[in-house]
Structures are given as structure tokens and as C-alpha cells.
Chain A
Amino acid sequence: MTAATTEVVEPSQDTRKAGRFVYVTGVVLLCAWVLVPLYFLLINTLSSPETVNSYPKSFIPEFDLGSLTFFAGFDGILTALKNSVIVAAMTMVMSIVIGAPAGYALSRFEFRGKELFRLLILLTRAFPLPLLALPLAVMFIRTGIDDTVFGLALVHTTLALPFAVLITFSLFSGIPIELEEAAWTLGCNRLTAFQKVILPLVLPGITASAIFAFVISWNEVFAAAVLTIENRTLTAFLLQNLDTSPLHLKFAGGFILVVPALIFIFAVRKYLFAMWGIANR
């Protein structure tokens, strides 16, 4: 009887091999899912415009900067790129400056309507942007912030804010209140305790959350397209010229959009892993 049980419980050599095969295949497929489009983007960006538009495609980049040069020389692109960076940076700063205190308050204080408030934060993401775009555009024109990077950054901040609040809320909640209380008994007031104890502990998470806000703004296209005319961001600019621009411009534009997001996420991967509770290696 014992022998029979052991046989059932212990996976046979074949089952183990099969499991390993499924695991490896899964990993390979997932990597391919992410990496193959990026690779195509890369080879087409680093090829001359002629190669990009010809057929069949090569699988090896030519390291020809023709497409990128064309992209850089395209009228208005550099301004759009600059606008994108400014809007994303403003969004990042505003989301953290507004979102982190809200997250702190949610995690540390008991107040009336706290649950409702948390729900409302999520609800801001429930309204489709097209629905809001028209009233926003009208309001922006009235207040005179239409077609400005600041106006757009405000809209992007509203988009990024719920994430900033909820991420910082969980960050602050993960820090035992006793650490803060200990700091208070050791000569800190609320502000200095935050500065000396809480801030160093949440900084990695705040950085990650800030970069997340940056990427949200960087990738956002709808509000950017509706609310700006002269001061387009890169996404809106590329969208505007989608049907008229040549293929190599699209590839180069796509590449320029993807790269910063990738680099940023790569740079803070340690903090993101830490935030998700995976040991950093």
C-alpha cells in the first residue's frame, strides 16, 4: 500500500520533464511576446529609409542612422519631443506633490468619508477621457491655459494621480506606525519624523511611483491631441501626421517613444522589485 501511495504522490521522471518543458516554453513565449516587437522596432529604426520601405525585410539592423536623422530633421519633431519631456516631468512632480500627502493621510488618519474618498479616487479613472475632453477644452480656453504644456500636464496629473495616491498609500501603510511614534518620542515632530524616518524608507517606492506617472504622461495621446494645437507632444504629433508621414518616420517615432519608458523602468527595476516584495539581485 505504501509503495502504491508513493508512486502516486511522486511525479514520475516523465511528468517532471513535461512540467519543465511547459515552464521553459512559457518563459520563452512571454519573452518573445515582449522582445520580438521591440526588436522589429529596433531594426527598422536603425535601417535606412529605403530598407524600411522595401521588401523582404532583413532581420539584422544595418546601423544606418538615416531614419533617425530624417526623424530629427522632420519639422516640429524636436519641439514635440521637448514638449513631451516637459509635460511628463511636470506630471511626475505634480502627481507626487499632490498624491503622496493624500496617500499618507489615507494610511495614517481616520476621518469621515475615508472609504468614499478612496472610491472617488478610483472613480476618476472611470470616466472615459473623450467624455471629459470637450468640457475640459472649453474650460481651458476660458482660463487661458489651452494649448499650453502646463494645461496638458494638469490633465495628465489627473490621470496619474489615482495611481500615485494608491501606490503611496500602500507604501506608507507598509511602514509600521511605531517607527513614526518612536521618532516622536525621540525628539521629532510630525514633519521631522517624516523627513528622517518615513521618507528614506519610502523613497524607492516614491521614485517608482513618480516614474510611473512620467510614463503615463509620456504615453498619453488622446488628451494631448485634443487639448494642444501648436504645442503638441510627441505622441500627439505622430498621431496627427500618421496618415501623411512615411513608414520610417513612424518607426523612428515609435522607437523614440518606447526607449525612455524602457530605460526608466530598467533603471528603477530594483525599486519596483522591492516594492513588489521580490529580493533585489
Chain B
Amino acid sequence: MAVIEIKNVAKRFGEYQALHDINLTIADQEFMVLLGASGCGKSTLLRIICGLETASEGEIWIDGKRVDHLAPKDRGISMVFQNYAVFPHLTVFENIGFGLRMQKLPNDEVKRRVERTAGLMHIEQLLSRYSGELSGGQRQRVAVARALAMEPDVILMDEPLSNLDALLRMEMRAELKGVLAESNTTAIYVTHDQVEAMSMADRISVMHEGKIVQAASPIEVYRNPAAKFVAGFIGNPPMNFLEASPQGGGKFSVAGHSFDGPSAANSNLQFAIRPEDMTLAENGFPAVAKVVEPLGAHLLVTCELDGKLFRAILDSEMQVKPGETLKLSPVQDRIRWFDPETTLAVA
């Protein structure tokens, strides 16, 4: 049982402001992902919650208790580090049992909990090995098992899968999600990998330049980005943007075509659409195909439209050649609008 409340947290490193006035509440047993490019402050925020870093301003509350002044060990948290941080001088068993030994639990209790968490992470057969004898993936499992063995209220993970190869990462992703769901802990997971974020999170907080730009469910972040940054960051390839000028009466002109836009707005906007929300239609935008990439499941076509690069994902059966002009039409209810001044979404 642990709700995490982050209130007005700011962090400065000398002149550099790493975090600006962060406010975020993470529900009990929620899986929250902090997503952002490197240097956006996501790891700093995690380290402040953990107590490895102190905030310049603001408060951290865990389970209704203010914890800013507490040492990491007194916060009821466990952390999984990016480089695993498995103690090289201890066996896997002693690594997983390290925190339990620090709590002076009796031997049989330590043994029971180590064996249970090792079983969860499928590393029972490695218990007598040392870190040097393990592969990266196995070390990662040890690090997670060590955090879980503490039976913490909150588990914090700092890019735990980023050092693994792609296949293993996908496997671990699903496994971690399952194990965490069963452990009833609140989890905060830092990553720069949007696929990881989308697939694992209950809620994603997209961070940019030390601020949380949007905190919402993965599908909401994908479908209704709150700001142009989110639209351009999430999705691979990201959203397409075109300039839109008002024609009055809620109509906007985009590359010579007229669309229904936000009725209240009466200034230039940006029209945004996901590549997969384009269809071929007679009355569509004329776009000249530049690069055609058959990706198996579908066809990614990079075109030139209104003087800009524009990507569309089409059916893989389509025969498109570079230089060909396509007639692309957006799916009406998938169109989003952004204010170029504030970069925020306009409804």
C-alpha cells in the first residue's frame, strides 16, 4: 500500500535547472513510467524519490508520510539500477538476501524469501554463482530479485533493460510486467524507450527539459498528445505536421485542402496526423513518394508534401515506386491540432 506524491519538486545543479516544479501523484500499485530523452531529468526525479539525491525544493510523500529527510533505507523502497549493481564479492544467494540480512531476519526466513524471489525470476539454479559468472540478462534478474526480496512498498527502476540485447529485452519486458503485477507494489520505471513505456505502463509521464509534459495512459498519450513534443516523440515514425491557416467558421486550410478545425481558434495552427492514419483517396493531398520502405507488415512511404517530409504507413500489398504521386487522405477523427506559439494541443 503506497501512494507516492511528488509536490513542487525542483532540482538545481549549480546554475543548471534539472527539474522545474514537478507535481505528480502515483496511485497505489500503479505502474508509472517516466519517459523522455536523455538529459530530460527523469533519472534525477527517480533518484530524488529514492533519496540518493536531495531536491532543491518541494516534498516527496510516500504512503502519507513525508520522506524528504529520510535516508533511502527508511523509505520503504527498492531500486533496480541500470548497470545492475550486483555485488561482485557475494554469491547470487547472498546478493538477493543482502537486504534481508541487513534487517537481521532469521536464516530460514532469508532462505525462504531468497528462494521464492529467485523462483519468480527463474534463477534458482544460479544461487551459488558469483556475478562474474553471469550473463547480462542473468545479472538483471538477480538485481530485480534482490529488489523484490525486500517486499518493498515501492520499486524504482532506472532503465533496467537498456543494457540487454533486443530479443532479451522483449522477453524481460513481458516477464517484469507479470512479476510486478503480482507483487502488488507501486512501480516507477524510467526509460527512454517508448515501446517499453507503451507496453508496460499503466500511466506514462512524458518528460521534457525538466518538466512533465503529459501524464496519462499509454493509449491517451499516443492518441491525444498534450503537446507537440509528445506527438513528435511518441510513435515510430512520429506524427506528421503541416501548417494550417484559418478560413473562418472553424475551417482551416491545410496544403490547399479545407478541414474542420477547433472552432474557437482563429490563428495559424499546426495540423497533425499519425502516418498510419492516412488512406489513399481521390480527393487526398498530392504527395510525391521519395523513399519506399517495405517493412513486412506494412509499407512506410516517405513523401514530400507542402514542401515538407511526410510519412504514411500503407498496406504492404501496395505497389509504390519512388517519384510516384500518391493521393493521401487523413482519417477525419484522428486529426489533431497544435498551437505553434504554446506548442500545446488545441481541441
Contacts and interface: CB of A to CB of B under 8 A. Distances in A.
B87 A181 contact: no
A121 interface: no
Interface stretch (A135-143, A144-152, A185-193, A244-252): A185-193
B104 to A, nearest CB: 9
Most B CB within 10 A of own CB, among A182, A196, A201: A182
Interface string A79-103: 0000000000000000000000000
A186 B52 contact: no
Chief secondary structure at chain A's binding surface:
helix
Contact of B83 (A178, A189, A197): A178
A179 interface: yes
Contacts of B197: none
B102 interface: yes
Chief secondary structure at chain B's binding surface:
loop
Contact of B81 (A182, A196, A197): A182
Contact of B102 (A176, A178, A181, A192): A192
Interface string A187-217: 1110010001100110000000000000000
Contacts of A183: 87, 98
B85 A189 contact: no
Most B CB within 10 A of own CB, among A179, A184, A186: A186
Nearest to B75: A185
Given A181-B52, A181-B79, A186 B71 contact: no
Interface string A53-68: 0000000000000000
A185 B72 contact: yes
B83 A176 contact: yes
Contacts of B51: 184-185
B150 A186 contact: yes
Given A176-B83, A184-B71, 19 more contacts: A178-B81, A178-B85, A179-B87, A179-B88, A182-B85, A185-B51, A185-B77, A186-B78, A186-B98, A187-B99, A187-B103, A187-B150, A188-B73, A188-B102, A189-B73, A196-B102, A200-B89, A201-B88, A201-B89
